[in-house]
Structure 1
Amino acid sequence: MYIGVDLGGTNIAVGIVDEEGNLKHKDSTPTKRERQPNEIIGDIKRLILKVIEEYGISKDDINAIGIGIPGLADKKTGEVIYCVNLNWTNIPLKQPLEEELEIPVYIDNDATLAGLAEYEAGVMRGAESGIFITLGTGVGGGIVINGRINSGFNGVGSEIGHMVVGENYYDCSCGKNGCLETFCSATALINYTKKLITEENCKTIIMEKINGNLDNLEGKIIFEAAFEEDELANKAVNRLIKYLAIGIVNLICIIDPEIFVIGGGISKAGNFLLEKLREEVSKNKFYKSLPIGKIVLATLGNEAGIIGAAMLPKQY
């Protein structure tokens, strides 16, 4: 058995996962990210012990613990190098947990581990290689090649969201201009739609759906309006699709994976999103006569973070 910890800015989720990637039991607690790191780490420890007790096993039954963080970790030392959601910089995470729990601990990026989850127990299972792209508040990624996650020399090899795909009207939070994240995240979609509504004299059903208040605008509403053939909504969605396709074609040129998996909140647009994306990628692929990897939706949902984290120790 393994323990998977999904450490997020809102919640800490912990689960017990078997060798095949099946989630057997889970629990969660609010992160309360304004607290000091040692307080949050203390909650992680207590939640791990709680799920072990609730499931009716002992610490000796746990092979290892994996932790996914929304940031960058030093996989050798287990230190959180940078995590903007928690305001952590150079925070030891592996050491205090190993010392108190006496169980090996491994740490990696949460999007990378969501990709590993889909490879081990989801829609990527059986594939030689795959790339997971999560489209949420930001854009994250996970790359798996021959059963191994590929994070690069410094751990930033799967930061797909910060691949530059064009010139944008605002800079990314990382300081660069043109990052995929600024075109294809839910945040980017909402921001661009607000820009269109504010600057273009175009009637849109979006305003009815949000009762005239732009603060109520969500990605889901924009996709609903696009599905209903609203001109402005389709302009915003098609822009997202265009740049996501550019990113995918770039990845094909470098890695040429067997499968692309789209996750995150934007993926809830389902086949409406997939059909447009597949068409745009096919139109822009380099070798016109050759097939490309499948583009599909993620299947594990919110459980991917826990499952991927639990599967991380098997990589070592």
Structure 2
Amino acid sequence: MKYYLGLDVGGTNLAAGIVDENCNLLHKESIPAGAGRSVEEITSDMAKVSKSVVKHLGLPMSKISFWGIGMPSYVNPQTGLLVHANCFGWKNLDIYSYLQKHSSLPIYIENDANCAALGEVLAGAGKGYHDVLMLTLGTGLGGGIILNKKIYAGADMMGAELGHTKLCYHGSSCTCGQLGCAEAYCSATALIRQAKEALQGNESSVMYELCGKNPEQLNAKMVVDAYKMGDQVAQNVFLQYVDYLSCAMSSFIVIFRPEIIILGGGVSNVGDTLLLPLKKKVMENTYAADVIGVPEIRLAECGNDAGIIGAAMLEKYGMDRKKNGVS
């Protein structure tokens, strides 16, 4: 049996796990990421939690031939530098030099959204499919594209940033600094912003009560709860959000024509409350949908494990990207 080591790096947690050759997650551990600390401290903890899962299973490190890491960024294949991990404030960072201080294993770094998409294809909702698109509806709008069961990220391996495709010309500000990105309309953060805007002058809305009459405490669940309770303001907000998301998805569909689209992240946890109106809107907004149909839309199944599984299996299913920053 072969074993693979994967690490999913986020702004909140560092989650590591051991995956076998059948893509089963055998053991995982998670520790706080501690964003705001030094690069040395965070990369040391990345190695520490990764080594801990290996030790837990009683495996010698010699049994692990590879360390796969999902990061909220890309590594530039020409320079070997981590481009921009916004949650840590890292930009053009020589990430390999820090990690190599703690491990002699070959290191493979990939964008975390791509890892999550690969994990779902190998062990979750995308199992059995070859061409899959995944969107993560969380703090941002993560996107991953799997073509022929391999990660696709363009000629320079730094593409597939679906959340930063333009949805509205000169539209709302995005955290990336651009205007009108899909992320600024389709993320959980966007849903909350839209609800706060709608609450202005609408204090009679159920949402106002659910957030304790303090809109700054409003979250996505409160918006959905008010929507399900029949609150008109919440219904207007949520259905507009669904419309935004369907428009973004319709563009991705006509470009890639995936077999299925998988939805993950916090907003997807509401299940059919999102899926039913979304499927209807995708049919309405997608070119030639009445003739050729649209891909199946399915909820993610692996949860937070998808990123670990995908990272662990990068050596087998990832792109031909540099390892340890060396060709």
TM-score range with shorter-chain normalisation? over 0.9
How far apart are the structure 1 equivalents of 2:134 and 2:78? 24
What are the Cα deviations for residues 44-97 of structure 1, in whole angstroms up to 9, with x where unaligned? 122222221111001111121111111222256653111110001122223443
Q: 1:168 Cα shift?
A: 6.6
Q: Which amino acid aligns with 2:236?
A: K
* Partners of 2:167 and 2:182 within 8 A in 1: yes
What are the Cα deviations for residues 211-268 of structure 1, in whole angstroms up to 9, with x where unaligned? 2111221101101111122111111111111111111111111110000000000101
Distance 1:176 1:148, change over 3 A: same
Select which of 60, 63, 75 maps to 1:61: 63
How far apart are the structure 2 equivalents of 1:176 and 1:259? 29
1:1-316 to 2 correspondence within 5 Å?
1-75=3-77, 78-98=80-100, 100-167=102-169, 170-198=172-200, 200-201=201-202, 203-287=204-288, 288-314=290-316, 315=318, 316=320
Q: Which amino acid aligns with 1:4?
A: G
Q: Which amino acid aligns with 2:112?
A: D
Superposed CA RMSD in Å reads 1.6
Mean CA deviation greater in 268-277 or 204-213: 204-213
Q: Which stretches in structure 1 are left out of the alignment for 5+ residues?
A: none
Q: Secondary structure at the match of 2:11?
A: coil
Q: 1:133 Cα shift?
A: 0.1
> Alignment length, in residue pairs?
315
Q: Which amino acid aligns with 2:264?
A: G
Q: Which amino acid aligns with 1:192?
A: Q
Q: 1:279 Cα shift?
A: 0.1
| TM-score using structure 1 length | 0.95
Q: Which amino acid aligns with 1:291?
A: G
Q: Which amino acid aligns with 1:222?
A: V
4+ residue runs of structure 1 moved beyond 6 angstroms?
A: none
* Partners of 1:183 and 1:239 within 8 A in 2: no
| TM-score using structure 2 length | 0.92
Identity, in percent, stands at: 37
Mean CA deviation greater in 155-164 or 251-260: 155-164
Q: Secondary structure at the match of 1:101?
A: coil
Mean CA deviation greater in 271-280 or 234-243: 234-243
* Partners of 2:76 and 2:158 within 8 A in 1: no
What are the Cα deviations for residues 124-148 of structure 1, in whole angstroms up to 9, with x where unaligned? 1111201000010110100000011
* Partners of 2:4 and 2:312 within 8 A in 1: yes
* Partners of 2:164 and 2:181 within 8 A in 1: yes
* Partners of 2:191 and 2:238 within 8 A in 1: yes
